[in-house]
């Protein structure tokens, strides 16, 4: 009985979150339904806060991104079902799972093995099979000469990593939180045009830093 009660509560909370995202301007029904399909409580021990529209802390001093932020970043990428997307900063895999519902393949990188292992378990529980994982430094990119239709970075950096720009297909987009000298951060949308990059500043945000360091076993 408890199980059933929990799932009704969970669905109500999830619907409240969807309504809140809609109210905040996320209107893309594909993105909202992807969020609806991924039970956020699987990714956090804070069950009573799982469906609140806020960032939650996870191990290794990292965070589970605020749902609005994830939804907004994804909406800026204009994803298609045929796309291959690179995600830097897997964390425990919630954003990964949401993106997996929208594209052909998600290639996701994380520098903390502990988090990557958690993400793999979480993604497996949801029977999602279009995710490839790699332990490594996001600044170095995926390697393997793969070009991506979109790149999403879940941690803030003062610079846009060059190797990531190089692994974007023409007319594709990268979104990331950019850190400024004053300590503030803004979402930055970079579009790769023929021979140059267009940059557009979006919302103020607050993310953990993107570390240009080797992975942690």
Q: Which residues contact 149 (CB under 8 A, 6 or more apart)?
A: 79, 80, 82, 83, 84, 85, 103, 169, 172
Q: Calculate the alpha carbon distances from 90 to 80, 106, 188, 206 in Å.
A: 20, 10, 19, 17
Q: What is the pLDDT of residue 3?
A: 62
Q: How many percent of the chain have pLDDT more than 70?
A: 97
CA–CA gap between residue 165 and residue 117 (Å, rounded)? 27
The tokens describing 104, both together, are 């052909």
In contact, 208 and 62? CB cutoff 8 Å: yes
Sequential pLDDT tens for the chain (217 residues): 556 666 776 788 899 999 999 999 999 999 999 999 999 999 998 888 999 999 998 998 888 899 999 999 999 999 999 999 999 999 999 999 999 999 999 999 999 999 999 999 999 999 999 999 999 999 999 988 899 999 999 999 999 999 999 999 999 999 999 998 888 999 999 999 987 899 999 999 998 888 888 888 7
> What is the distance in angstroms between the CA of the first residue and the CA of the last residue of the chain?
41
Q: What is the pLDDT of residue 5?
A: 63
Q: What is the pLDDT of residue 122?
A: 96
Q: What is the pLDDT of residue 145?
A: 86
């Amino acid at each position: 009985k408890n199980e059933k009660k929990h799932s009704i509560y969970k669905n109500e909370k999830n619907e409240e979150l969807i309504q809140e995202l809609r109210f905040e301007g996320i209107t893309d029904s594909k993105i909202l339904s992807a969020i609806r399909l991924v039970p956020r409580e699987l990714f956090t021990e804070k069950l009573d806060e799982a469906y609140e529209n806020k960032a939650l802390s996870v191990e290794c001093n990292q965070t589970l991104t605020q749902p609005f932020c994830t939804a907004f970043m994804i909406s800026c990428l204009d994803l298609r079902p045929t796309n291959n997307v690179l995600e830097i900063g897997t964390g425990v895999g919630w954003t990964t799972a949401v993106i997996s519902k929208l594209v052909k393949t998600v290639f996701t990188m994380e520098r903390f093995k502990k988090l990557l292992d958690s993400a793999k378990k979480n993604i497996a529980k949801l029977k999602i099979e279009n995710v490839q994982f790699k332990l490594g430094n996001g600044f170095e990119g995926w390697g393997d000469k793969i070009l991506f239709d979109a790149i999403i970075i879940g941690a803030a950096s003062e610079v846009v990593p060059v190797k990531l720009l190089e692994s974007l297909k023409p007319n594709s987009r990268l979104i990331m939180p950019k850190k400024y000298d004053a300590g503030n951060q803004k979402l930055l949308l970079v579009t790769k045009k023929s021979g140059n990059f267009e940059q557009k500043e979006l919302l103020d945000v607050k993310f953990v830093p993107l570390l240009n360091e080797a992975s942690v076993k």
